[in-house]
Amino acid sequence: MKLNKILATTALLSLILPGGSALGSEIDRLWMLTKIAGEYAAVGQKDKAADLLAQALPLVQTISDNCNKPEPIAEIARQYAAAGQEARSSQLLAQAIQVAKTATGCLGHNDEFENLADIASRYWEDGQYDQALQIIREIDDGKFIGLMLAYYAPQLAEVGRTDQAAEILAEAIQSAQTIDDANFKTLTLFRIADHTIKLRQKAQAVEVLDQAIQAAQSIDDVWSKAGMLVEIADRYIQVGQKTQAIEVLSQALSVTQTIDNDAQRHMVLSQIAGWYAVAGQYDQALQLAQTIDNPSAKAGALSNIARQYAVAGQYDQALQLAQSINDTSGKAEALSSIARQYAAVGQYDQALQLAQTINDTSRKGSVLSSIAHQYAESGQFDQALQVAQMIGDTDEKAMVLSNIAGHYAEAGQLDQAFQIAQSLGGTSIESKIATLTQVASRYAEAGQPDRALQVVQTLRELSTNELNLTWLLSAIANSYAKIGQFDQALQFAQTIDNQYSKAIALTEIASQYTAREQKEKASELLAQALQITQAMGSGQ
């Protein structure tokens, strides 16, 4: 499912509304009217909210194609419900679903499945779980229903609806059985098994995997069939059923031997050898690897086996096997995998020592990056920075430092994150801008709007495109309001030149007043936001 992705992925991104940032567009006005209506409903002015929604609805027709209409219609429907008009809400939701199902010529990001999945997601976020599931059931292509229902089953369990989660999972399995395409049916079943595993229902997962094996038998393309069997074997291993996994790998091997295309056959053989190792069948894995004629594929298989030795803690065997690989690239990959495994279990000294023996500059840099990431994830920031400085490639180093800055920010050490972000080099300025934006967002979220403004100033010096920062300015205004500094919030909001962003800021500040039961002040700001929004459509 697509999500709004605006540089930094923080909670403050909820300030970004769908519809773009072209100042004065009718689409902007549509989204702002809908948002303001929701806030009016929150302060109890439901008639006012309904009036604004009635103004917003005709603006949907300014959208050029039906593919982009379902989501705004559904959002208006949600806000009608907030305004107490359930019948109108239901009517519009049905309309949104119908438009999604009948729209033609849509792209992957706005086709029926994506639109309905996104609409369901919005209802899910509101806690309207039954409504969200019902929307999923409206998807015409039955191939996707089982996948989506299974996706939501673990989430139902997380909110305490364990019985319903089991029911939804059963419904997903039943839906999968209606799929005619054997390939997609198999895929759906082992994906359902993934979600069953998340629910810790291992016995049921095994039952689903058994069904997946049956479905796989009907796949005509031998390459696809072998690949599916390997995936199923992986899931059996995850639920501790190694005997079944080995049996399925044996089936996969028999199918693979019938693949005519040499490259495809060698690739699958390499994968099977690796999974034999995962299942603890090292002798069989090594024997299979030796039968692979292609030097590169053979090296890949041996590298996979070496990595599994390392995962099992058998580092001597892993290193011995890696050193035996004749292919230079394969040997470097095997050593890289072992070094990463050392780092993953906290054996950083061994990881660094092994990394220094890798002759391939690119892979060495990649391993050092992994070690730095592991240090940062464990909160060992000084060590992470030291390893990052060992990386020769400036762009690789910048990416690693950006990652470390992100970990600093997540840990609440925002000043350190800001310092690192300012120092980022490399040939691409985008990484630096993205990192600084994340830091600014974190400052605002943490109730430090003054520091957020300091970062914004740094961003302005890097980019002349002011529009890229308008959403962040709204976030900072909201940050002042969240910590109760309403005077500063309002003063700052008034300095925002972009009228769309100013309207967002005022609406968000109003929301903070509402949260404090200061509904009169909230209403005053909503009136200002509405005035700005109405001006968007009048060309003022």
| Full pLDDT tens readout for the chain, 540 residues | 332 322 222 223 233 233 334 334 889 899 999 999 999 999 999 999 999 999 999 999 999 889 999 999 999 999 999 999 999 999 999 999 999 999 888 887 778 899 999 999 999 999 999 999 999 999 888 788 988 999 999 999 999 999 999 999 999 999 999 999 999 999 999 999 999 998 889 999 999 999 999 999 999 999 999 999 999 999 999 999 999 999 999 999 999 999 999 999 999 999 999 999 999 999 999 999 999 988 899 999 999 999 999 999 999 999 999 999 988 888 999 999 999 999 999 999 999 999 999 988 899 999 999 999 999 999 999 999 999 999 988 888 989 999 999 899 888 899 999 999 888 876 667 788 888 888 888 888 888 888 888 888 888 787 655 445 677 788 888 888 988 889 989 988 988 888 888 999 999 999 999 999 999 999 999 999 999 999 886 555
Check residue 3 and give its pLDDT: 29
Q: Which residues contact 120 (CB under 8 A, 6 or more apart)?
A: 132, 133, 135, 136, 148
- Listed in sequence order, the residues at least 6 apart from 340 whose beta carbon sits closer than 8 Å to its beta carbon are 351, 367, 370, 371
- Cα separation, 458 vs 143, whole angstroms: 49
* Alpha-helix residue ranges (DSSP H) falling in 411-518: 414-423, 430-445, 449-462, 470-482, 486-494, 499-515
**What is the spatial distance between Cα 12 and Cα 7, in angstroms, rounded to a whole number?**
11
Q: How many domains does the chain have?
A: 1
DSSP string, 117-133: HHHHHHHHHTT-HHHHH
Residue 479 domain-assigned (yes or no): yes
Long-range contacts at 487-492 (CB < 8 A, ≥ 24 apart) = 488/449, 490/525, 492/449
| CATH number of the domain where residue 530 is located | 1.25.40
How far apart are alpha carbons 189 and 191 in whole angstroms? 5
The Cα 215–Cα 220 span in angstroms is 11
Task: Report the C-alpha gap between 526 and 508 in whole angstroms.
Answer: 9
* Alpha-carbon Rg for the chain in angstroms: 28
The 3-state DSSP class for residue 304 equals helix
Query: Is residue 507 one of the residues assigned to a domain?
Result: yes
Angle subtended by helix axes 242-256 and 262-278, to nearest 10: 170
Please list the alpha-helical segments (H only) found in 279-327.
Answer: 282-290, 295-311, 315-324
- pLDDT of 427 reads 63
CB under 8 Å, gap of 24 or more: what pairs does 365-370 form? 365/391, 365/392, 365/393, 365/396, 366/336, 366/396, 367/336, 367/339, 367/340, 368/400, 369/396, 369/399, 369/400, 370/339, 370/340, 370/343
Given the structure tokens 């994340």, which residue do they identify? Answer: 438
- The two structure tokens encoding residue 117: 């999945």
Structure tokens at 152: 């939501």
In a domain, 530, yes or no: yes
Distance between CA atoms of 518 and 286, rounded to whole angstroms?
71
Instruction: Identify which of 360, 376, 361, 387 has the alpha carbon closest to the alpha carbon of residue 409.
Output: 376
Q: What is the pLDDT of residue 9?
A: 26
Number of residues in the chain: 540
Residues 6+ apart with CB under 8 A from 320: none
Neighbours of 484 (CB within 10 A): 12
126 in a domain, yes or no? Answer: no
Compute, in degrees rounded to 10, the torsion defined by CA atoms 144, 150, 152, 156. Answer: 150
Is there a domain that residue 472 lies in? yes
Alpha carbon distance 146, 153 (integer Å): 11
Domain membership flag for residue 514: yes
Residue 540 lies in a domain: yes
Long-range contacts of 244-251 (CB under 8 A, 24+ apart): 244/206, 244/209, 245/275, 245/279, 246/276, 246/279, 246/281, 248/213, 249/275, 249/276, 249/279, 251/213
Ramachandran class of 476: left when φ > 0, alpha when ψ lies in -120 to 50, beta otherwise: alpha
Angle at 469 between CA 467 and CA 473, to 5 degrees: 120
C-alpha neighbours within 13 Å on the C-beta side of residue 422: 14
Q: What are phi and psi of 447, to 5 degrees?
A: 75, 30
Among candidates 262, 324, 331, 268, which has minimal Cα distance to 293?
A: 262
Answer whether 302's CB lies under 8 Å from 334's CB: yes
**Neighbour tally for 491: CB within 10 Å:** 12
From the centroid of its chain, how far is CA 481? 29
Q: Which of 270, 255, 250, 184 is nearest to 223 (CA)?
A: 255
**110 phi, psi to nearest 5 deg:** -140, 30
Task: Tell me, yes or no, whether 382 lies in a domain.
Answer: no
What residues make up the domain containing 519? 465-540
Backbone dihedral angles phi then psi of residue 111, each to the nearest 5 degrees: -80, -175
